[in-house]
Chain A
Amino acid sequence: MFLVKSVIIIVEIIIAYLLQTSVFTGLRLADVVPDILMILTASLAYIFGKKSGALTGFLCGMILDCTFGSLIGLYALLYCTVGYICGYAHPVYDETDYTLPYFVIGGAEFLLNLLYYVLFYFLKGDLDIGYFMVRYLFPRVIYTVIVSILLYRLINLNNNLFTKLMKKKNTPKEAIIFKGFDVIGGRRDI
């Protein structure tokens, strides 16, 4: 169960990274790229909790560090922290809710960029936070949230399917015969 879940998450991370660096760099709006890796980190943190959030964020950040960062570990630290914080939203997770997660993702992207500003600009002596906000932060948050409307649904759908499959596997055959469709279909969502 744990192993299959990890493999699925790792595949999701790889797809997200490829989307971000190769597909969405061609679909730039206002010169910013939506942060697909953050969408994934925040969504998984919201769905599964703090542990998954921190680990996913760590892996996402690590890939970015190894391919684009100058210091290894800096992006990993940022994504890991934000993923962990997003995990605090897990108690209110509801698989049919498609409103709250966008606020979580938007907030996560905002926080990430704020930390990014502090580490990459503020410490370098660039105090012009207004410029950074208008040029990078807000466009990035808005674009990310827009893209997440589609992507969060996919991630959540994927997760629901996976949970259902696992439940079906673990349920004894007699139970299925007795209870009929309800058990095969898992929880009734509609």
Chain B
Amino acid sequence: MGREKKSFTISSKMIFTFLVIICVGLIIVSYLFSDLLAPVKTAVGNFFVPMQKGISTIGSGISDKLRLFSDKEKLIEENDRLTEEVNDLKMERQILIHQKYELDYYRELYENDSVYQNAEKVAARIISRNPNGTCDVFVIDKGEEDGIVTDMNVTAGGALVGIITDVGKNWAKVRTIIADDSSVSGRFQPTSDTCIVKGNLKRMDDGYIDVEMINLNAEVYDNYEVLTSYISDKFLPGILIGYVTNIRKDPSELNKRAYLTPAVDFEHLEAVLIVKTLREELEGFE
């Protein structure tokens, strides 16, 4: 009896070793053949998404109610700030009207700019975020069924949010431009100098991400707009990324670097627009 029991007991050490071997094996497999395990990811996503959808619908209802309780002082403060902002904007508007004539001229010049004003777009709601609390990756409630494929650009309020990296049946994963492993080729609006916009979660705490590889001779100043450039093979050209500040020389003295304030408020993002035109298709039209 005793012998039998001994031969059938699996020690916890064995289970642990076995699990660790599986983990290491999976890491290696998913690193070498990332497509191989994609169906598993899709299946798990399909299982959880309906539940998450339900919860986030209820959750947003509750948070709307809670917002009613935000204190009065905050509102007064905000009112002061907004009045100031309105004055600023009034002045800015005057300048913009003048610039509009200039813009019309440029638009003729860059016919591409209007391409995705007419392009088909899909609106989607964010249903879950990265569980470690950062805003670098999130999942939306539209997927293959709505015609989403990887590498589609994601925007909000006319500005770039990020790019689709994984797609399931009714969900898709979006990597935002503030993620550490994201880099987008950009250009400055009036001067067309090029640069690279790199995500930086650490700096995002202060509201900035990095801009690198600006030409040393480029004439760029604070608050210039940065748009996506024509060089990128994934991002559609001419989408607003943000506004540049704090331009300074790179320690290498070979080029300049700067901070960028993204035009999108990633902390409070709730819904996004996906542009259904792919960069490759755009090339085909020309």
Contacts and interface: CB of A to CB of B under 8 A. Distances in A.
Contact of B23 (A55, A68, A73): A73
Given A18-B55, A51-B12, A67-B48, A25 B128 contact: yes
B30 A73 contact: yes
Interface in B20-59: 20, 22-27, 29-31, 37, 40-41, 44-45, 48, 51-52, 55-56, 59
A77 B44 contact: no
Given A18-B48, A22-B56, A58 B23 contact: yes
Given A80-B23, A84-B12, A23 B55 contact: yes
A58 B59 contact: no
A66 interface: yes
B63 A18 contact: no
Contact of B16 (A17, A31, A54, A66): A54
Given A21-B128, A67-B48, A73-B23, A32 B202 contact: no
B48 A54 contact: no
Interface stretch (B88-96, B130-138, B251-259): B130-138
**Closest 7 A-B residue pairs measured CB to CB?**
A73-B26, A50-B12, A66-B44, A77-B23, A73-B27, A22-B55, A72-B30
24 contacts: A17-B48, A18-B52, A21-B52, A21-B131, A22-B56, A22-B128, A25-B129, A26-B59, A26-B63, A28-B133, A51-B10, A51-B15, A67-B44, A68-B131, A68-B137, A72-B27, A73-B23, A74-B23, A74-B27, A77-B20, A77-B23, A77-B27, A131-B202, A136-B132
Given A51-B15, A58-B22, A68-B130, 17 more contacts: A18-B48, A18-B55, A21-B129, A21-B131, A23-B59, A25-B128, A28-B133, A33-B133, A55-B19, A66-B40, A67-B45, A67-B128, A72-B29, A72-B30, A74-B23, A84-B16, A136-B133
